[in-house]
Amino acid sequence: MKRLIVAAGGGGDAVAAAMLHSALYGDEDQAVILTYAWDRLLVDPVPGPRGPDNFTGLEQLTPAVWTVPANARPIAPAGSTLPRLAAELPHTFALLDPHHGVEGVTRQLEELIDHLSPESIDLLDVGGAILARADEPTLKSPLADALTLAACCQVNAPVRLLVAGPSLDGELPVDDVRALLGARIHTFTPADVESVSSVLEWHPSEATGMLAATARGVRGTCEVRDAGLPIALTDEGPTVHEVDLDEAVTRNQLARAIMATETLDEVEAHSREICGYSEIDYERNKAAWLKDQPPADLVPQTVLAQLDEFEAEARRRGVTHTTFRHLTEVLNLDGSQREDLRRLLIGNRPEQYSAPLWQIP
């Protein structure tokens, strides 16, 4: 294994890491991708990230690092996309465990570096929320990025910070992100996307889905998340930029505050103090609310009629695309129905499938 890639926020960042490896390093030895098992409530109904105790079938790589092979399974009721990623992609997925705070993540990194002696270490974030100060009103999920950023700056090895798809995560205004970017090192192409094309058919990540779509030439405005946030799909979408790691740490108040933390509870406490909230609290509240909100039945005729209403309203808002994750929320379905919804819509209106997004005609 010549390369170590840290997926800054987990989730779709791990898929983007696989795409990055294919684009930059080609067919050489595959990467170890260190990533959270944190898939949000559409996949995992349990709030917050999962640790090794939440899986069966993990394989120990170092004293603090476990890999997630294809036959690993999350222990119910938890869910995770990582075993399926391991089954479909050639890389080794190592479980980033934030439950011991930044000190624990730093220890994991140090052990991996000693064990692998990688030729390169990339810290990859899709969108650029890792560059936040941590007090921006548009910021929604700073915790995971701040943890990995704080840990990466403490290891005794060179780490390159990369931001792909500037502002595709909808966390920071595009002008703010653009002003912080360094040299462009790559622009993803349709050929680059092929390495993860099968994964994009089912993975729920919206930011990485839009990254792939812009690499394939899709342009317009994509509506995402439960709140219907509009994201511009532009020529900047498929770009990858290097950013000075030390400057990012200096800017990120949360990352600096949590350097010596030994538990996730400590990290959350700092997030509440600096950002005014913990995103895991948001997940806890939403999970409690969802328990009292039975999902709608997926009746094809009803769903297609509701889709027509949504598309008419979306057109008036200037929306050209959306994600299946957003449609699942809009149509009052739950995460377990997302794949059935996707099959229904593509089966009935294949001309609107702009992989992996849904086009608003």
Q: pLDDT tens across 286-313, in order? A: 999 888 888 788 999 999 999 999 999 9
- The pLDDT, as a whole number, for residue 259 is 98
pLDDT digits (tens, 9 = 90+) for 179-233: 999 999 999 999 999 999 999 999 999 999 999 999 999 999 999 998 899 999 9
- The pLDDT, as a whole number, for residue 8 is 98
Residue 67 phi/psi, 5-degree rounding, is -100, 155
Full-model pTM: 0.96
- The pLDDT, as a whole number, for residue 245 is 98
Beta carbons of 20 and 187 less than 8 angstroms apart: no
- The pLDDT, as a whole number, for residue 1 is 65
Question: Residue ranges of the chain with pLDDT lower than 70?
Answer: 1
